[in-house]
Amino acid sequence: MMEPGLYHILFLSTALFFTGVYGFFSRRNLITILMSIELMLNSVCLNFIAFNKYVWPGKLDGVFMTLFIIAIAAAEAALAIAIIINLYRSHQTIDVSSGEEMKY
């Protein structure tokens, strides 16, 4: 096998990203959907770090992006969980199909 490098990490993160996307599309539980989003964001972070490390180490842009993404991910997750809990209270379920009342 090859020496691991940029492309390996990029492929890994892409795979991770789309794993998250798959989870987003296929899960029915809202919390698992949220988990999938975390996976996607993580893969992006990995991307930024990898680029920063292998291609553009002259500045720390990637690092800062990662840091802020992590912070935002936390805030987003918190808010999403609050909304999910509220939904659970009103619908007594966190199945995503509970939220299909408005359509067409």
Partner 1 sequence: MPDLIYILTIPLLPLVVFLLLGIAGRNSFNKTGGYIGTLSMLVSTVLSLQLAYGYFFHWGKVNGVYQHFIPYKLTWLDFSEGLSIDLGILLDPITVMMLVVVSFISLMVHVYSLAYMKGEERFGVYYAFLSLFTFSMLGLVLSSNIFQIYMFWELVGVSSFLLIGFYYQKSSAVAAAKKAFIVTRFADLGMLIGILIIAFQAKTLDFTLLIERLGTPGSEWIQQAVQAGFLGWPVISWGLLLVFVGGAGKSAMFPLHIWLPDAMEGPTPVSALIHAATMVVAGVFLVARLFPVYTFSAPGVLEFIAYVGVFSALFAAIIACTQTDIKRVLAYSTMSQIGFMMFALGVSGYGGEEGLGFTASQFHLFTHAIFKALLFLCAGVVIHHVHSNELDAMGGLRKDLPVTHICFLLACLAISGIPPFAGFFSKEEILLAAYEKNKIVFALALFTSALTAFYMFRLYFKIFWFKAFSHHGHHKEGSPVLLIPLCILAVGSISTGFIPFGNFVSGDGKPVHTSLQINFSIAPVLLGLVGILAAAFIYKRERSGGNSTSVIYMITKRKFYIDEVYLFITKKIIFNGIGKPAAWFDKNVVDGLVNFSGTITEKIARSIKKLQSGKVQQYTMLYLAGIIVITLAMLYFFNRI
Partner 2 sequence: MSGSTIIFYLLALITLGSAMLAVSSRQIFRSAIFLLFSLIGIAGLYFWLQYEFIAAVQIVVYAGGITVLIIFSIFLTAKSGESLPKQKPARLIFSALSVFCGAALVMLQIAGHSFPVFSGDAILPTVGNIGKQMLSTEQGGYALPFEVISMLLLAAMIGCIVIAMRSKPLLK
Partner 3 sequence: MLDFFIYMKSELMVTLIIFVLLIIKLGKGLSNEKLLSLTQVLLLINVIIAALWNNEGSLFGDMFVTNKLIGIQKTILSLGVYLVSLSFPGWCRKSEHLTEFMVLLLSSLLGMYFLISSGNILMLFLAIELSTLPVAALANFDLDKKKSAEAAMKMILSSAFSTAMFLFGTSFLYGATGTIAFSALSVSTSMNGLQLMAFVFLFSSFAFKLSVVPFHLWTADVYEGSPIPVTAFLSVISKAAFSFILVTILYKVLLPLETAWYWLIITLSVTTMLIGNLFALRQANIRRFLAFSSIAQVGFILAGISGGGLTGQTSVTYFILVYLFSNLAAFGVAGVLNDQAGIDDIEGLKGLRQSNPFLAWMMALALFSLAGIPPTAGFFGKIFLLASGASKGPIWFILIAALNMVVSLYYYLKIIRVMFMEKPLLESAAIATDRQVKFSLIICAAGILFAGVFSWVYEFIYRQ
Residues lying near partner 3 in the complex (CB under 8 A): 10, 17, 20, 24, 30, 33-34, 37, 40-41, 43-44, 47-48, 50-51, 55-56, 58-59, 61-62, 64-65, 68-69, 72, 75-76, 79-80, 82-84, 86-87, 90-91, 98-99, 101-103
- CA distances in angstroms from 71 to 13, 26, 45, 46, listed in the order given: 19, 26, 11, 15
DSSP 25: H
Tell whether residue 104 is a contact of partner 1 (CB under 8 A).
yes
Tell whether residue 97 is a contact of partner 1 (CB under 8 A).
yes
Closest CA relative to residue 47, chosen from 21, 72, 77, 17: 17
